[in-house]
Amino acid sequence: MERIGLRIRLLKFFNRHPHTKAFGILLPCMFWIGVFFLLPLVFMATYSFLERALYGGVQLIFTWENYTRFVDPLYLKILLRSFRISFLTTVILLIIGYPMAYRIAMADKRWRNILLFLVVLPFWTSDLIRTYAWMLILRDTGLLNFLLQYLHVIKKPLTLLYTEGAILLGLAYVYLPFMVLPLYASIEKLDRSLLEAAEDLGATPFWRFLKVTVPLTKSGILAGSLLVFIPSVGAFIVPDLLGGAKAMMIGNLVQLQFGPSRNWPFGSAASFILMTIVLLAVFTYLRFAGGKEAMEEAR
Amino acid sequence: MEFTVELNRVTKKFGDVVAADNVSLQIGRGEFFSLLGPSGCGKTTTLRLIAGFEEPTEGEIFINNENVRDKRPYERDVNTVFQSYALFPHLTVAGNIAFGLERKKTPRHEMGRLIEEALDLVRLKGMGDRYPRQLSGGQQQRVALARALVLKPEVLLLDEPLGALDLKLRKEMQLELKSLQEKVGITFIYVTHDQEEALTMSDRIAVMERGRLEQVGTPEEIYEFPKTRFVADFIGVSNFFSGQVIRAEGETLLVRTDGNLDVTLPLDHGFTEGQRVQFSIRPEKFSVGPQGKGRDGENELVGEIANRIYLGGSIHYVIALSAEEKVTVFLKNERTAGQQPSFSVGERVTVSWHRDDSVILGD
Ligand SMILES: Nc1ncnc2c1ncn2[C@@H]1O[C@H](COP(=O)(O)OP(=O)(O)OP(=O)(O)O)[C@@H](O)[C@H]1O
Ligand SMILES: [Mg+2]
């Protein structure tokens, strides 16, 4: 009885003050973001300006050092590599994912769901396990080298594992669905009569793709690129397992600082630098690749 | 005669559905040619076959006397105004019109001029910078038209381009389209299911039904001399009779209808005694009066007015000639001061028509 009374009183309050209604609905959501996202962020920001304690944690002494330390060529190289690899992953996935999404979207209705199911099927196992599987395939005594030697294509095993190439492969493999699904969604919505109209007006298939299909599926291209780029910049499982110590990415650096190195302040600073650069990159990308129109389209 | 488009025994099947069934057509240069028929009869399919979006299951299509079997849509000198307009939403009006011109490698300065001209032609001057979603339905339709016309194709295919417009705008656009077509002299193949639209705009009409061509002819031929019951029924209003030939006599065919009425039809050598015959008479071909006039070749029957609908400019009557046979009659309102030749329900009248106004129908 007590609870129902409260509910009714609450509803009455919202009816009397309608503008508070939206706020009321958003409240749980805001609570969630506040506790699980903003609060840790504030902690991290604070940590990044403090000195490390010996066994993890921090000492309450202000310092810039965690940021200035980053200007070391060693760290800049890691940062640069992270962006290069993520950028290449995104480009590769656009090139692979677009035709894939296109074929799925144009396929028969019956096939479409089966194909989409196959695209998300890898999600059913952990990407840790899937990445281990790639290790078994790529290492010197792995499946690929064995096959190539067996077929007498090569004499000595190729170094495939622990290279940037291996990281690229692994990231592209893990993030493929993130590219294909948004692309599929936007291609599927594409009005077929527009494609016919383009052809009718004299556009060859290539021109039609460039001038009609791509601009009209821009929202999918933007979404897919961001969904791939952002997590791959910070990825650490794939570069850890397939890149090793030779091809470290910034995700590994951060993980290292919070883990074995026990340097939480430096790890926090690295995270913040990464976050700032990613945000800047994303905004620049949306601004130039998207333009005003795509923003509107995305609405 | 020179044909821009020729279909030679073209058949298109979608699985079990025969969307176009052995269609043969010849369309002349600069002709306004309409495809008319009910929904699902294969009009769009026929257009798509010509445009190249569908491949015929059988038969051949010629554009400018050239077999276009191996030509993709972008290689055909044909442009389409789609039923849904299909304007590119990411391009402005000018961008839409420029789309085809860019493909033709038109020089920049000339392109600007052509776009202005095209906008002028469809009366959309100054709207070049708008996006399609900022235009009304009628304006969008005109952009679609301008986009196709600016390429000066041999043939323009129009798929119910006025279908989405309200009646008033539709009538206006019909006149505009017709005069535009006369001005630019391009062959128009125009799909519609609106018989009035087809009658007012076309040089020739092809009436389609279930994938087959029922009749091809000028609007007058189609209206006055429908060849089949379907055509007579689909276009305008018709009174249908069926009966049996009694005998041929001079220039007439004596027929007794199923309702036991004796009437005369124009002589048709295809019929012999005892054969079944079907014919139709348009409602405005009758005259009605207290007595017949006794003209030569006139059929005269007595009937009773069963229904009367006053429409202002005209009056429609339903007159019962026998127990089963009723005719619909349209009479002009001839009321003038002091005179009122109008009939009321229940009145007995003589209905008359000339035998040559009866049209014998095939199956
Ligand atoms: N792609 C297709 N697959 C299967 N059947 C089709 C296809 N296109 C058309 N049809 C069938 O072919 C027949 C003719 O279709 P069409 O679109 O040509 O008709 P229409 O005369 O244009 O009709 P409407 O006036 O309704 O537009 C219909 O029965 C339709 O269901
Ligand atoms: Mg149609």
Tell me, what's the pLDDT at A46?
92
Contact A216 B89 (CB under 8 A): yes
* Residue (of A211, A190, A217) closest to B101 by Cα position: A211
DSSP state at residue B284: G
Handedness of CA A239, A242, A247, A248 (dihedral sign): positive
Tens of pLDDT, residue by residue over B198-249, are: 999 999 999 999 999 999 999 999 999 999 999 999 999 999 999 999 988 8
Tell me the torsion sign for CA atoms A46, A47, A51, A54: positive
The amino acid that residue B81 corresponds to is: V
Strands (E), B183-230: 187-192, 204-209, 212-217
Nearest CB among A199, A201, A204 relative to B147 is that of A201
Q: Report chain A residues touching chain B, CB-CB < 8 A.
A: 191, 193-194, 196-204, 207, 211-212, 215-216, 293, 297
Nearest C-alpha to atom 8 of ligand 1 is from which residue? B45
Per-residue pLDDT, A3: 62
CA distance B209 to B230: 8
Averaged confidence pLDDT in chain A: 88
CB contact under 8 A, B74 and A191: no
SS3 assignment, position A296: helix
pLDDT at B162 over 90: no
Q: Report the pLDDT value the prediction gives residue A295, as an integer from 0 to 100.
A: 47
Q: Which chain residues have CB less than 5 Å from ligand 2, an ion?
A: B 44
> Among B293, B48, B55, which Cα is nearest to B191's?
B48
Q: Which residue has the tokens 């061509």?
A: B213
Look at residue A216 in the predicted model and tell me its pLDDT: 94
Ranking A50-54, B98-102, B206-210, B290-294 by mean pLDDT, the lowest is B290-294
Ligand nearest to the CA of B208: 1
User: In the structure, what pLDDT confidence band is assigned to residue A155 with cuts at 50, 70 and 90?
Assistant: confident
The answer to whether B99 and A211 have CB atoms below 8 angstroms apart is: yes
B210 alpha carbon – ligand 2 mean position (Å)? 13
Q: What is the mean pLDDT of chain B?
A: 91
Percent of chain B with pLDDT over 90: 68
Read off the pLDDT band of A299 (50, 70, 90).
Answer: very low
Give the helix/strand (H/E) hosting B5.
Answer: strand B3-14
Give A2's pLDDT tier (boundaries 50, 70, 90): low
Sorted by where each starts, the structural domains of chain A and their CATH numbers stand as: 1-43 (no CATH), 70-298 (1.10.3720.10)
Q: Please state, for a pLDDT cut of 70, what percent of chain A lies above it.
A: 95
Give the CB-side neighbour count of residue A188, counting CA atoms within 13 A. 16
- Can you tell me the mean pLDDT for A173-181? 95
For B250-303, the pLDDT digits (tens) are: 788 899 999 889 999 988 877 888 889 999 999 999 988 877 677 777 899 999
**Residue B291: what residue type?**
Q
Q: Are B277 and B247 in contact (CB under 8 A)?
A: no
Q: State the ipTM, two decimals.
A: 0.82
Average pLDDT over residues A266-280: 92
| Per-residue pLDDT band at A291 (split at 50, 70, 90) | low
Integer Cα distance of A288 and A280 in angstroms: 12
Q: What is the pLDDT of residues A3-24, one digit of tens each?
A: 667 778 877 877 887 777 777 7
DSSP string, B297-344: TEEEEEEEEEEEEE-SSEEEEEEESSSS-EEEEEEE---BTTB-----
3-state helix, strand, coil split of chain B in percent (to 5) is 25, 35, 35
Number of neighbouring beta carbons within 10 Å of residue B50: 25
Coil, strand or helix at B126: coil
Q: How confident is the model at residue B313 (pLDDT cuts 50, 70, 90)?
A: confident
Q: What is the DSSP letter of B362?
A: B
Evaluate if residue B117 carries a pLDDT over 50.
yes
* Pair B207, B214: CB distance under 8 Å: yes
SS3 A40: helix
* pLDDT at residue A1, rounded to an integer: 52
Structure tokens at A83: 């962006």
- The 3-state DSSP class for residue A53 equals coil
Q: Return the CA Rg of chain B.
A: 25
Calculate the alpha carbon distances from A183 to A170, A210, A218 in Å. Answer: 21, 15, 9
Provide the pLDDT for residue A292: 56
How far apart are alpha carbons A6 and A29 in whole angstroms? 21
CA of B19 to the centre of ligand 1 (A): 6
With H, G, I as helix, E, B as strand and everything else as coil, classify residue A181.
helix
Mutate to test the interface with A, among B77, B78, B90, B160 (most CBs of A within 10 A): B90
Q: Which residues contact B175 (CB under 8 A, 6 or more apart)?
A: none
Strand order in the sheet with B276-281: B262-266, B252-257, B239-249, B276-281, B359-361
The number of C-beta contacts closer than 8 angstroms across A and B is: 59
Q: What pLDDT does B1 receive? A: 58
Residue A93 has pLDDT above 90, yes or no: yes
Distance CA A185, CA A119 (A): 13
- Residue A297: pLDDT above 50? no
Work out the end-to-end distance of chain B between its first and last CA atoms, rounded to an integer number of angstroms. Answer: 30
> What value does the mean pLDDT take over residues B78-102?
94
Q: Which of B41, B190, B194 to mutate to test the pocket of ligand 1 (most atoms within 8 A of CB)?
A: B41
What is the 8-class DSSP label of residue A37? I
- Among A92, A116, A286, CA closest to A184: A116
- CA of B152 relative to ligand 1 center, distance in Å: 28
A163-187: average pLDDT: 94
How far apart (Å, rounded) are the C-alpha atoms in residues A46 and A58? 10
* pLDDT reported for residue B76: 93
Give CA–CA dist B143/B137, Å, rounded.
10
Decide if pLDDT at A264 tops 60. Answer: yes
Q: Which of B13, B14, B82, B158 to mutate to test the pocket of ligand 1 (most atoms within 8 A of CB)?
A: B14
Q: What is the DSSP letter of A212?
A: I
Point out the least confidently predicted range of A40-49, A133-142, B283-292.
B283-292
The pLDDT value given to residue B14: 95
pLDDT of B179 higher than 60: yes
Question: pTM of this prediction?
Answer: 0.81
From the CA of B42, the nearest ligand is: 1
Which residues line the pocket of ligand 1, CB cutoff 6 A? B 14, 17, 19, 37, 39-45, 193
